[in-house]
Amino acid sequence: MTAGPGGALLVVGDVVTDVVARHRGPLASGTDTAASIRRLPGGAGANVACWAAYGESRDVRLLGRVGADAAAWHERELVACGVRPLLIVDAAAPTGTVICLVDTRDSAERTFLTDSGASLRLGPGDWSDTLLDGVARLHLSGYLLFSEPGRALVPVALAAARARGVPVSLDPASAGFLTELGVDRFLALVEGVDVLLPSRDEACLLTGLPDAADAAAKLSRHVPLVITKLGAEGAMVARSGTVCARVPGAPASPRDSTGAGDAFTGAFLAALLAGAEPEEATVAGCRAGARAVERVGGRPPCGTD
Protein backbone atom coordinates (compact mmCIF):
# COMPACT_ATOMS: atom_id res chain seq x y z
CA MET A 1 0.00 0.00 0.00
CA THR A 2 1.53 3.33 -1.03
CA ALA A 3 1.15 6.62 0.73
CA GLY A 4 -0.89 9.34 -0.93
CA PRO A 5 0.55 12.73 -1.86
CA GLY A 6 -0.13 14.11 1.60
CA GLY A 7 1.36 11.20 3.54
CA ALA A 8 -0.43 8.70 5.75
CA LEU A 9 -3.45 9.02 8.01
CA LEU A 10 -3.31 7.27 11.37
CA VAL A 11 -6.66 6.70 13.06
CA VAL A 12 -6.73 5.70 16.72
CA GLY A 13 -10.03 4.38 17.95
CA ASP A 14 -12.64 1.71 18.34
CA VAL A 15 -13.20 -1.47 16.36
CA VAL A 16 -16.50 -3.16 17.14
CA THR A 17 -18.99 -5.63 15.74
CA ASP A 18 -22.29 -4.03 14.72
CA VAL A 19 -25.50 -6.00 14.92
CA VAL A 20 -27.88 -3.93 12.80
CA ALA A 21 -31.60 -4.56 13.32
CA ARG A 22 -33.77 -2.68 10.82
CA HIS A 23 -37.43 -2.44 11.88
CA ARG A 24 -40.36 -0.30 10.79
CA GLY A 25 -42.18 1.79 13.35
CA PRO A 26 -42.08 1.64 17.15
CA LEU A 27 -40.72 -1.43 18.93
CA ALA A 28 -43.51 -3.60 20.35
CA SER A 29 -42.86 -3.73 24.08
CA GLY A 30 -43.08 -7.19 25.67
CA THR A 31 -43.46 -9.10 22.40
CA ASP A 32 -41.91 -9.54 18.93
CA THR A 33 -41.04 -6.86 16.39
CA ALA A 34 -40.16 -8.08 12.90
CA ALA A 35 -36.72 -6.92 11.79
CA SER A 36 -33.98 -7.55 9.26
CA ILE A 37 -30.78 -8.32 11.21
CA ARG A 38 -27.18 -8.31 9.96
CA ARG A 39 -23.76 -8.69 11.63
CA LEU A 40 -21.32 -6.14 10.22
CA PRO A 41 -17.88 -4.72 11.07
CA GLY A 42 -18.06 -1.29 12.68
CA GLY A 43 -16.68 1.09 15.27
CA ALA A 44 -16.35 4.85 14.77
CA GLY A 45 -12.56 4.77 14.46
CA ALA A 46 -12.58 1.80 12.06
CA ASN A 47 -15.38 3.33 9.97
CA VAL A 48 -13.50 6.62 9.61
CA ALA A 49 -10.40 4.76 8.44
CA CYS A 50 -12.36 2.74 5.88
CA TRP A 51 -14.10 5.79 4.41
CA ALA A 52 -10.77 7.64 4.25
CA ALA A 53 -9.27 4.76 2.28
CA TYR A 54 -12.34 4.21 0.10
CA GLY A 55 -11.55 4.63 -3.56
CA GLU A 56 -8.05 5.95 -2.85
CA SER A 57 -4.54 4.45 -2.92
CA ARG A 58 -3.38 6.36 0.14
CA ASP A 59 -1.90 4.92 3.30
CA VAL A 60 -4.53 4.73 6.04
CA ARG A 61 -3.63 3.00 9.30
CA LEU A 62 -5.81 2.06 12.26
CA LEU A 63 -4.69 1.44 15.84
CA GLY A 64 -7.33 -0.39 17.82
CA ARG A 65 -7.93 -3.16 20.33
CA VAL A 66 -10.09 -6.22 19.72
CA GLY A 67 -10.83 -9.53 21.41
CA ALA A 68 -9.52 -12.84 20.15
CA ASP A 69 -13.10 -13.82 19.30
CA ALA A 70 -13.30 -11.66 16.17
CA ALA A 71 -9.76 -10.35 15.57
CA ALA A 72 -9.12 -12.25 12.34
CA TRP A 73 -12.48 -11.24 10.83
CA HIS A 74 -11.98 -7.56 11.65
CA GLU A 75 -8.46 -7.60 10.25
CA ARG A 76 -9.66 -9.13 6.98
CA GLU A 77 -12.47 -6.60 6.66
CA LEU A 78 -10.12 -3.65 7.27
CA VAL A 79 -7.55 -4.91 4.77
CA ALA A 80 -10.29 -5.42 2.18
CA CYS A 81 -11.25 -1.75 2.63
CA GLY A 82 -7.67 -0.64 2.00
CA VAL A 83 -6.80 0.01 5.65
CA ARG A 84 -3.57 -1.15 7.30
CA PRO A 85 -4.78 -2.66 10.61
CA LEU A 86 -2.61 -2.24 13.70
CA LEU A 87 -4.77 -4.30 16.01
CA ILE A 88 -3.89 -5.35 19.54
CA VAL A 89 -5.59 -8.60 20.48
CA ASP A 90 -6.88 -8.40 24.05
CA ALA A 91 -6.64 -11.68 25.94
CA ALA A 92 -9.04 -10.58 28.67
CA ALA A 93 -11.92 -8.82 26.90
CA PRO A 94 -14.08 -9.64 23.88
CA THR A 95 -14.45 -7.41 20.85
CA GLY A 96 -16.92 -4.59 21.46
CA THR A 97 -20.46 -5.04 20.20
CA VAL A 98 -23.05 -2.41 19.27
CA ILE A 99 -26.70 -3.22 18.70
CA CYS A 100 -27.98 -0.71 16.13
CA LEU A 101 -31.76 -0.36 16.12
CA VAL A 102 -32.75 1.35 12.87
CA ASP A 103 -36.29 2.57 12.25
CA THR A 104 -36.65 2.29 8.48
CA ARG A 105 -39.23 5.08 8.26
CA ASP A 106 -38.34 8.57 7.04
CA SER A 107 -34.74 9.49 7.97
CA ALA A 108 -33.73 5.97 9.10
CA GLU A 109 -32.65 7.23 12.51
CA ARG A 110 -30.87 4.77 14.76
CA THR A 111 -30.48 3.97 18.45
CA PHE A 112 -27.34 2.28 19.80
CA LEU A 113 -26.89 -0.22 22.62
CA THR A 114 -23.14 -0.25 23.20
CA ASP A 115 -20.80 -2.74 24.86
CA SER A 116 -17.37 -1.34 23.98
CA GLY A 117 -15.51 -4.43 25.17
CA ALA A 118 -11.80 -4.49 24.33
CA SER A 119 -11.98 -0.99 22.81
CA LEU A 120 -12.30 0.44 26.33
CA ARG A 121 -8.88 -0.99 27.15
CA LEU A 122 -6.93 0.82 24.41
CA GLY A 123 -4.42 2.89 26.38
CA PRO A 124 -0.92 4.42 26.62
CA GLY A 125 0.71 0.99 26.68
CA ASP A 126 -0.54 0.43 23.12
CA TRP A 127 1.10 3.62 21.88
CA SER A 128 4.55 4.06 20.35
CA ASP A 129 5.85 7.27 18.82
CA THR A 130 7.02 5.17 15.86
CA LEU A 131 3.33 4.84 14.92
CA LEU A 132 3.68 8.37 13.54
CA ASP A 133 6.46 7.45 11.09
CA GLY A 134 5.30 8.63 7.66
CA VAL A 135 2.05 10.01 9.11
CA ALA A 136 0.76 13.41 7.93
CA ARG A 137 -2.43 13.47 10.02
CA LEU A 138 -3.59 11.83 13.24
CA HIS A 139 -7.28 11.29 13.93
CA LEU A 140 -8.57 10.35 17.39
CA SER A 141 -12.01 8.83 17.89
CA GLY A 142 -13.93 10.63 20.61
CA TYR A 143 -14.80 7.25 22.13
CA LEU A 144 -11.27 7.23 23.55
CA LEU A 145 -12.40 9.91 26.01
CA PHE A 146 -15.05 7.68 27.56
CA SER A 147 -12.68 5.24 29.30
CA GLU A 148 -9.82 5.79 31.73
CA PRO A 149 -7.18 4.10 29.50
CA GLY A 150 -8.39 6.10 26.49
CA ARG A 151 -8.29 9.38 28.39
CA ALA A 152 -4.71 8.57 29.40
CA LEU A 153 -3.78 7.76 25.79
CA VAL A 154 -5.08 11.00 24.26
CA PRO A 155 -2.51 13.42 25.78
CA VAL A 156 0.32 10.98 25.01
CA ALA A 157 -0.71 10.81 21.33
CA LEU A 158 -1.29 14.58 21.18
CA ALA A 159 2.16 15.34 22.61
CA ALA A 160 3.84 12.95 20.18
CA ALA A 161 1.99 14.47 17.23
CA ARG A 162 2.79 18.01 18.34
CA ALA A 163 6.48 17.13 18.61
CA ARG A 164 6.45 15.99 14.98
CA GLY A 165 4.24 18.78 13.67
CA VAL A 166 1.42 16.35 12.81
CA PRO A 167 -2.05 17.97 12.96
CA VAL A 168 -4.67 16.15 15.01
CA SER A 169 -8.42 15.87 14.46
CA LEU A 170 -11.07 14.51 16.80
CA ASP A 171 -14.74 13.59 16.44
CA PRO A 172 -16.66 13.90 19.75
CA ALA A 173 -18.52 10.68 18.86
CA SER A 174 -21.52 10.59 21.22
CA ALA A 175 -23.70 13.28 22.78
CA GLY A 176 -24.92 10.76 25.34
CA PHE A 177 -21.43 9.82 26.52
CA LEU A 178 -20.37 13.48 26.37
CA THR A 179 -23.09 14.34 28.86
CA GLU A 180 -21.73 11.73 31.26
CA LEU A 181 -18.12 12.88 30.79
CA GLY A 182 -18.92 16.58 31.24
CA VAL A 183 -18.33 19.50 28.89
CA ASP A 184 -15.50 21.13 30.84
CA ARG A 185 -13.64 17.85 31.12
CA PHE A 186 -14.03 17.19 27.40
CA LEU A 187 -12.75 20.62 26.39
CA ALA A 188 -9.74 20.23 28.67
CA LEU A 189 -8.92 16.82 27.19
CA VAL A 190 -9.05 18.06 23.59
CA GLU A 191 -6.81 21.08 24.16
CA GLY A 192 -4.22 21.06 21.39
CA VAL A 193 -6.49 19.41 18.81
CA ASP A 194 -6.39 21.18 15.42
CA VAL A 195 -9.72 20.06 13.95
CA LEU A 196 -12.95 19.23 15.78
CA LEU A 197 -15.79 17.50 13.90
CA PRO A 198 -18.92 17.56 16.09
CA SER A 199 -22.47 16.84 15.10
CA ARG A 200 -25.08 19.56 15.59
CA ASP A 201 -26.17 18.02 18.92
CA GLU A 202 -22.59 17.68 20.13
CA ALA A 203 -21.69 21.26 19.20
CA CYS A 204 -24.74 22.61 21.02
CA LEU A 205 -24.05 20.44 24.04
CA LEU A 206 -20.41 21.53 24.21
CA THR A 207 -21.33 25.22 24.16
CA GLY A 208 -24.73 25.36 25.83
CA LEU A 209 -26.04 27.26 22.78
CA PRO A 210 -29.22 26.19 20.98
CA ASP A 211 -28.18 27.41 17.52
CA ALA A 212 -25.66 25.26 15.62
CA ALA A 213 -24.00 28.23 13.91
CA ASP A 214 -23.49 30.04 17.19
CA ALA A 215 -22.17 26.84 18.73
CA ALA A 216 -19.72 26.25 15.87
CA ALA A 217 -18.47 29.82 16.09
CA LYS A 218 -17.92 29.55 19.84
CA LEU A 219 -16.11 26.21 19.56
CA SER A 220 -13.78 27.68 16.93
CA ARG A 221 -12.42 30.03 19.57
CA HIS A 222 -11.09 26.94 21.36
CA VAL A 223 -10.13 24.76 18.37
CA PRO A 224 -8.61 26.33 15.21
CA LEU A 225 -10.97 24.58 12.76
CA VAL A 226 -14.47 23.32 13.58
CA ILE A 227 -16.54 21.36 11.07
CA THR A 228 -20.08 20.92 12.34
CA LYS A 229 -22.05 18.11 10.73
CA LEU A 230 -25.74 18.87 10.17
CA GLY A 231 -26.97 15.58 8.69
CA ALA A 232 -29.14 16.05 5.61
CA GLU A 233 -28.63 19.83 5.86
CA GLY A 234 -24.90 19.53 5.16
CA ALA A 235 -22.17 21.05 7.31
CA MET A 236 -20.58 24.34 8.31
CA VAL A 237 -16.97 25.46 8.62
CA ALA A 238 -15.92 27.76 11.46
CA ARG A 239 -12.61 29.45 12.24
CA SER A 240 -11.54 32.09 14.77
CA GLY A 241 -15.03 32.58 16.16
CA THR A 242 -16.78 32.91 12.79
CA VAL A 243 -18.74 30.55 10.54
CA CYS A 244 -16.96 31.07 7.22
CA ALA A 245 -18.74 28.52 5.01
CA ARG A 246 -21.97 26.54 4.84
CA VAL A 247 -22.04 23.47 2.61
CA PRO A 248 -25.40 21.96 1.61
CA GLY A 249 -26.05 18.27 2.05
CA ALA A 250 -25.93 15.93 -0.92
CA PRO A 251 -29.22 14.28 -1.96
CA ALA A 252 -29.82 10.80 -0.58
CA SER A 253 -32.52 8.17 -0.04
CA PRO A 254 -31.85 7.10 3.56
CA ARG A 255 -31.85 3.44 4.57
CA ASP A 256 -29.59 3.50 7.65
CA SER A 257 -27.84 6.51 9.18
CA THR A 258 -25.33 4.34 11.07
CA GLY A 259 -21.82 5.62 10.36
CA ALA A 260 -22.87 8.66 8.31
CA GLY A 261 -20.84 10.98 10.52
CA ASP A 262 -17.86 8.61 10.31
CA ALA A 263 -18.15 8.60 6.52
CA PHE A 264 -18.13 12.40 6.51
CA THR A 265 -15.05 12.50 8.74
CA GLY A 266 -13.13 9.90 6.73
CA ALA A 267 -13.80 11.56 3.38
CA PHE A 268 -13.07 15.02 4.82
CA LEU A 269 -9.67 13.88 6.15
CA ALA A 270 -8.82 12.08 2.92
CA ALA A 271 -9.55 15.27 0.97
CA LEU A 272 -7.36 17.33 3.32
CA LEU A 273 -4.54 14.83 2.81
CA ALA A 274 -4.95 15.19 -0.93
CA GLY A 275 -4.45 18.95 -0.64
CA ALA A 276 -8.03 20.24 -0.50
CA GLU A 277 -8.98 23.34 1.46
CA PRO A 278 -11.38 22.73 4.40
CA GLU A 279 -14.41 24.01 2.45
CA GLU A 280 -13.68 21.67 -0.47
CA ALA A 281 -13.02 18.79 1.95
CA THR A 282 -16.38 19.50 3.59
CA VAL A 283 -18.10 19.01 0.24
CA ALA A 284 -16.38 15.60 -0.03
CA GLY A 285 -17.55 14.80 3.49
CA CYS A 286 -21.17 15.64 2.66
CA ARG A 287 -21.07 13.41 -0.43
CA ALA A 288 -19.72 10.49 1.60
CA GLY A 289 -22.30 11.01 4.35
CA ALA A 290 -25.08 10.91 1.76
CA ARG A 291 -23.70 7.71 0.30
CA ALA A 292 -23.41 6.17 3.75
CA VAL A 293 -27.07 6.68 4.68
CA GLU A 294 -28.10 4.80 1.54
CA ARG A 295 -26.27 1.69 2.82
CA VAL A 296 -26.86 -0.66 5.75
CA GLY A 297 -24.01 -0.46 8.25
CA GLY A 298 -21.22 2.04 8.76
CA ARG A 299 -18.69 1.04 6.07
CA PRO A 300 -18.24 1.89 2.38
CA PRO A 301 -18.79 -0.79 -0.29
CA CYS A 302 -15.71 -2.92 0.24
CA GLY A 303 -14.64 -6.07 2.02
CA THR A 304 -17.19 -8.83 1.74
CA ASP A 305 -19.85 -6.36 0.56
As to burial, measured by CB atoms within 10 angstroms (0-12 exposed, 13-18 middle, 19+ buried), residue 192 is middle
pTM over 0.75: yes
Give, as one character, the DSSP assignment of residue 48. H
Q: Which pLDDT score, from 0 to 100, does residue 303 have?
A: 52
Local confidence band at 1 (pLDDT 50, 70, 90 cut-offs):
very low
- Picking from 118, 75, 114, 74, the residue whose alpha carbon sits closest to that of residue 97 is 114
Cα(95)–Cα(120) distance, rounded to whole angstroms? Answer: 10
Q: What percentage of residues in the chain have a pLDDT greater than 90?
A: 81
**Phi/psi of residue 270, nearest 5 degrees:** -60, -40
pLDDT in tens, 33-54: 999 999 999 999 999 999 999 9
Residue 71 binned pLDDT confidence (cut-offs 50, 70, 90): very high
Q: Which amino acid is at 273?
A: L
Q: Where are the alpha helices (DSSP H) in 165-277?
A: 175-181, 183-189, 200-207, 212-219, 260-273
User: pLDDT by residue (tens digit) across 140-182?
Assistant: 999 999 999 999 999 999 999 999 999 999 999 888 889 999 9
